[in-house]
Amino acid sequence: MARIVIVDDEKNIRRNLAAFFDSIGHSVRAAASGAEAIAALDDEPADLVLTDFRMAEMDGLRLLEEIKRRDPATVVILMTAFATVESAVAAMKAGAQDYVTKPFTLDEIRRTVERALELRGLRAENRELRSAVEQAPMLETASAAMRRLLDTARQAAASDATILLAGESGTGKNVLARQIHQWSPRRERPYVVVNCTTLSEQLLESELFGHMRGSFTGAVKDKPGRLEAAHLGSVFLDEIADLTPALQTKFLRFVQEQSFERVGGERTIQVDARIIAASNRDLEGEVAAHRFREDLFYRLNVITLYVPPLRERADDVIPMARWMLRAAGLRNRRPGLRLNAEAEATLRRYRWPGNLRELRNAVERAAVLCRSDEITPDDLPDSIFREPRETPPIVAAGAAHRAPSLEEVEREHIRRVLAESATLEEAADTLGINVTTLWRKRRRYGIE
């Protein structure tokens, strides 16, 4: 149901439209003039305003402008019996969603309004999704180590010093790199990302430095590189350890002099770009193994920030999972999803070798496959149940007895029923569950 205001100085049109939209379930108010419509909107905001173009005192265009000034999200559709190209263009420029010509049938105006309301809903959903996605959950942390890292990163961002981000794959180095740019004085300038793992040496060289027409097969025109695009901004080189020795040499010169030549070119290009690099490998070890230039390493290693893995930020797992679930629910048109207590306990116990990336994938899968709004352990990937659980502590004779947890009781009961049953189907029947659920519980508890 939408809140609609009908504005027309012709009583019959106003009354008929109001009655029609009321009959199909919308909340409708009618106004005989622009001033009356504004008063109605001041009393209660509307989702959509359907207004005549030609009215005394305040015409539809002026009313449209006033509505948009007060609330840009309100959808406005103009109606007129005197359509011209000029009036249509003026209406669209002023923010009208649509423009319909009288006479029209009730079915035609219904379709127009429904399309407009659907588009309004999509825009609102996109704004919410964008807001959710643009937040950086890794930057809101309960981890003392992560807070120290962020404090150092913010301080370093104020300078032009080269920053090297170290840490395992999937820990969020790319998110931190973008945030460093946003914290820096260069925030209004370009932020350029180069992934050093995705291209061959020749293509990566061209991507970084650009090329001249005819410099290699397929180079049909001059093309600037990513470093040129980052002028006065920041360039982030992800997985820099994957640069070949030849590219390491050429990139070293850029780091030292902020200059280079395009592939096949002779003109030296000067670029002012702040460098942020990242690697999931131990670059010192790569230097010792003669796979990475020592001089380039020391040029990059001005400020090194170690991004801790998720297993060292256990208190952050559930807040991140909730945030990711909200974003996944919006992406998949399933808002309102939530994790139940058992699912959260399962996520908290797992060590997440794939870090944030693995957590995001697990949450996305659950958001897509869960059958209700509540996510349970059965909705989570099997992989997170394969890790061995800690053995419950052994209580010495005479020591105070610790009551077993519900999970331990269930595990032991399933193990006993399986041992006494001839088949999996018989065990499932005894337990009162289906075979698929029993199979998942065996995997979860490590019962062979």
Handedness of CA 289, 290, 293, 295 (dihedral sign): positive
- Three-class DSSP category at 186: coil
pLDDT greater than 90 at residue 359: yes
Check if the beta carbon of residue 233 is closer than 8 Å to that of residue 181: yes
pLDDT of residue 182: 92
pLDDT greater than 60 at residue 368: yes
Assigned token pair, 354: 């794939």
pLDDT of residue 63: 92
Strands (E), 125-200: 163-166, 191-195
> What's the whole-number average pLDDT of the chain?
86
Cα angle value 331/332/336 (rounded, 5°): 90
pLDDT category at 442 given cuts 50, 70, 90 is confident
Domains and CATH numbers, the chain: 3-133 (3.40.50.2300), 137-308 (3.40.50.300), 311-385 (1.10.8.60), 406-445 (no CATH)
What is the biggest distance separating any 2 CA atoms in the chain, rounded to whole angstroms? 95
Q: For the residues 305-319, what does the mean pLDDT come to?
A: 92
Among 306, 312, 310, 411, residue whose Cα is nearest residue 362: 310
Separation between Cα atoms, residue 374 and residue 211, nearest integer Å: 53
- Three-class DSSP category at 23: helix
374-406 tens-digit pLDDT? 999 999 998 888 654 443 443 333 334 455 667
pLDDT of residue 139: 72
pLDDT category at 92 given cuts 50, 70, 90 is confident
Q: Which residue has the higher pLDDT, 127 or 255?
A: 255
pLDDT of residue 436: 65
pLDDT of residue 448: 62
pLDDT of residue 393: 41
Q: For the residues 112-117, what does the mean pLDDT come to?
A: 89
- pTM reported for the whole predicted model: 0.59
Alpha helices in 190-268 (DSSP H): 201-209, 226-229, 245-257
Amino acid identity, residue 274?
R
Separation between Cα atoms, residue 240 and residue 204, nearest integer Å: 12
Check if the beta carbon of residue 165 is closer than 8 Å to that of residue 278: yes
pLDDT of residue 389: 43
Among 378, 388, 404, residue whose Cα is nearest residue 446: 388
Cα angle value 40/112/6 (rounded, 5°): 20
State percent of the chain over pLDDT 70: 90
pLDDT of residue 397: 37
Block residue for tokens 């400020």 = 303
pLDDT greater than 80 at residue 422: no
Of how many residues is the chain composed?
A: 448
Q: How is 307-362 classified by DSSP, letter by letter?
A: ---GGG-GGGHHHHHHHHHHHHHHHTT-TT-EE-HHHHHHHHHS--TTHHHHHHHH
Check if the beta carbon of residue 96 is closer than 8 Å to that of residue 79: no
Strand partners, 75: 48
pLDDT greater than 70 at residue 125: no
pLDDT greater than 70 at residue 351: yes
pLDDT category at 134 given cuts 50, 70, 90 is very low
430-441 tens-digit pLDDT? 888 876 677 767
pLDDT greater than 60 at residue 166: yes
